[in-house]
Amino acid sequence: MACCFFNQPLLHLFFYFILFSSFIPFVFPLSTVSISETSNQTLVCALVHVPGATQSVLNCLSFPSGIQIPFNSNTSFSAIVSGDGFLCGLISLSPATSTLVCWRFSVNGTNMYYKRIYQDLALSQLEAGNSVTCGLVNDTNRLECWPRRKFKTSSVGQNFSSMAVGEDFVCGLLESGNITCLGSNNAVVRQQPKGNYSTIAAGSTHACAIKFNGELDCWGSMAGEKPPQGGFISMALGENRGCALRTNETVVCWGQGNFSLPERLRETYFSTIEAKRKVFCGVLKSNFSLYCWGNENFNPNSIVFKDVLPGPCRSSCGLDRIIEGSGRLCPEGQQICSHSKSNIHNSVPPAVAPPPPPTLENNQERCCSRCKWSGKMIAFLVVGCVGSLILLLVVGFFLFKYCKCRGCRVHDSGRLDGTGPGAPVEQGGGPSQPHAPRTEEASPVLEKRLSQLASMGNAGHLEEFSLQVILEATNNFSHDKTIGTGSFGSVYQATLEDGREVAIKRAEISNTSSYAVGTRRQEDKDSAFINELESLSRLHHKNLVRLLGFCEDSNERVLVYEYVHNGTLHDHLHKLDNSPLMSWAARIKVALDAARGVEYLHRYAVPPIIHRDIKSSNILLDSTWTAKVSDFGLSLMGPEDDMSHLSLSAAGTVGYIDPEYYRLQQLTTKSDVYSFGVVLLEILSGLKAIHKNENGVPRNVVDFVVPYIVQDEIHRVLDARVPPPTPFEIEAVIYIGYLAADCVTLEGRDRPSMAGVVNSLEKALAACLVHPTSLSRSTTGGST
Q: Is residue 351 part of a domain?
A: no
The answer to the question of residue 320 being in a domain is yes
pLDDT value, residue 150: 62
- In sequence order, the 6+-apart residues with CB closer than 8 A to the CB of 534 are 449, 453, 458
Structure confidence at residue 622 (pLDDT): 93
Task: Check: CB of residue 189 under 8 Å from CB of residue 319.
Answer: no
Q: What is the CATH number of the domain that holds 552?
A: 3.30.200.20
Helix (H) or strand (E) run with residue 609 in it: strand 609-610
Q: Are 15 and 112 members of one domain?
A: no
**Are residue 395 and residue 515 in the same domain, yes or no?**
no
Find the DSSP H helices in 651-753. Answer: 659-664, 669-685, 701-710, 727-743
Side chain identity at 759, as an amino acid letter? Answer: N
Structure pTM? 0.53
Alpha-carbon gap, residue 625 to 637, rounded angstroms? 29
Whole-angstrom Cα distance, residue 192 to residue 172?
10
Same domain, 623 and 745: yes
Cβ count within 10 A of residue 111: 10
What pLDDT, on the 0 to 100 scale, is given for residue 601? 92
Residues 581 and 729 in one domain: yes
CB-based burial of residue 703 (10 Å sphere; 0-12 exposed, 13-18 middle, 19+ buried)? Answer: exposed
Residue 185 placed within a domain:
yes
Pick the closest to residue 450 from 532, 547, 560, 530 (CA basis). 530
What pLDDT is recorded for position 41? 83
Q: Is 185 helix (H, G, I), strand (E, B) or coil?
A: coil
Task: Please name every residue paired with 550 in a beta bridge, in sequence order, or none if there are none.
Answer: 464, 559
Q: Are 193 and 214 contacting, i.e. CB atoms less than 8 angstroms apart?
A: no
Could you tell me which residues are beta bridge partners of residue 282? 273, 291
Element (H, E) at 179: strand 179-183
Q: Report the CATH number at residue 726.
A: 1.10.510.10
- Catalytic residue list: 613
Secondary structure (3-state) at 745: coil
Residue 552 shares a structural domain with residue 607? no
In a domain, 670, yes or no: yes
Q: What is the DSSP letter of 127?
A: E
Q: Do 297 and 321 reside in the same domain of the chain?
A: yes
CA-CA-CA-CA torsion for 320, 50, 234, 118, nearest 10 degrees? 90
Q: Is residue 524 part of a domain?
A: yes
SS3 category, 392: helix
Do 532 and 640 lie in a common domain? no
> The domain containing residue 478 runs over which residues?
444-562
**Closest to 553 in 3D by CA, of 438, 434, 449:** 438
Residue 335 falls within a domain, yes or no?
Answer: no
Residue 180 inside a domain? The answer is yes
Q: In what order do the strands lie in the sheet with 57-63?
A: 33-38, 41-48, 57-63
Q: State how far the alpha carbon of 666 is from the alpha carbons of 406, 603, 631, in Å.
A: 15, 19, 22
Q: Exposure string (b/e) for 243-259, b if CB count within 10 Å is 16 or more?
A: bbbbeeebbbbbbeeeb
Does residue 14 sit in the same domain as residue 45?
no
Q: What per-residue confidence (pLDDT) applies to 47?
A: 94
User: How many angstroms separate the CA atoms of 20 and 41, rounded?
Assistant: 46
Residue whose C-alpha is closest to residue 620's, from 506, 462, 505: 505
> Are 345 and 247 spatial neighbours (Cβ–Cβ below 8 Å)?
yes
Alpha-carbon span 290 to 264, nearest angstrom: 14
Looking at the domain assignment, is residue 334 inside a domain?
no
Q: Give Cα 361 to chain centroid, integer Å.
A: 65
Pairing of strands 627-629, 216-220: unpaired
- Rounded to a whole number of angstroms, the CA Rg of the chain reads 33
Report yes or no: 67 and 360 within 8 Å, Cβ to Cβ. no
- Residue 296 is predicted with a pLDDT of 87
Contact between residue 743 and residue 749 where contact means Cβ atoms under 8 Å apart:
no
Residue 286's CB is within 10 A of a number of other CB atoms, namely: 11
pLDDT at 111: 64
Which CATH number fits the domain that encloses residue 156? Answer: 2.130.10.30
Smallest CA-to-CA distance from 616 within 540, 518, 719, 698 is with: 719
Tell me the torsion sign for CA atoms 337, 116, 700, 694. Answer: negative
Nearest CA among 579, 627, 566 for reference residue 599 = 627
Extract the runs of DSSP E, i.e. beta strands, from 64-140: 79-83, 86-94, 97-105, 112-121, 123-128, 133-137
From the list 472, 484, 392, 481, the residue with the least C-alpha distance to 429 is: 484
Dihedral Cα 156, 160, 163, 167, nearest 10 deg? 10
Looking at the fold, whether 366 and 459 belong to one and the same domain comes out as no
Distances (CA, A) of 403 to 306, 398, 406: 70, 8, 5
Structural domain count of the chain:
4
Residue 776 has what pLDDT?
A: 44
Task: Show Cβ contacts of residue 396 under 8 Å, excluding neighbours closer than 6 positions.
Answer: none
What angle do helix axes 374-406 and 9-21 make, rounded to 10 degrees?
Answer: 70
Which of 327, 349, 382 represents a domain boundary (last residue)? Answer: 327
Decide if 760 contacts 752 (C-beta within 8 A): yes
499 — alpha (psi -120 to 50), left (phi > 0) or beta? left
* Mean pLDDT of successive 10-residue stretches along the chain, which has 784 residues: 43 42 47 86 91 86 81 82 91 82 73 76 90 85 77 63 91 90 90 91 94 92 83 93 93 92 94 94 94 90 93 82 87 78 40 44 45 56 74 74 45 35 36 44 51 49 86 89 77 89 80 47 64 75 90 80 92 91 94 96 88 94 94 73 56 90 88 96 96 92 93 91 87 91 90 93 84 44 45
CA-closest candidate to residue 256, choices 328, 196, 185, 206 = 206
Cα–chain center distance at 35: 28
What is each CA distance from 327 to 284, 288, 317, 333, 334, in whole angstroms? 15, 12, 12, 8, 6
- Whether residue 622 is found in the same domain as residue 711: yes
Strands 279-284 and 270-276: antiparallel
DSSP letter for each residue of 334-366: -EEEE--HHHHHHTSPPPPPPPPPP---HHHHH
Backbone angles phi, psi at 278, to 5 degrees: -95, -10
197 shares a domain with 86: yes
SS3 689: coil
Q: Given this model, what pLDDT does residue 387 score?
A: 74
Whether residues 619 and 492 fall in one domain: no
One-character DSSP codes across 632-667: -TT-EE--SSTT--EE----S-TTTS-HHHHHH-EE
Backbone angles phi, psi at 325, to 5 degrees: 80, 0
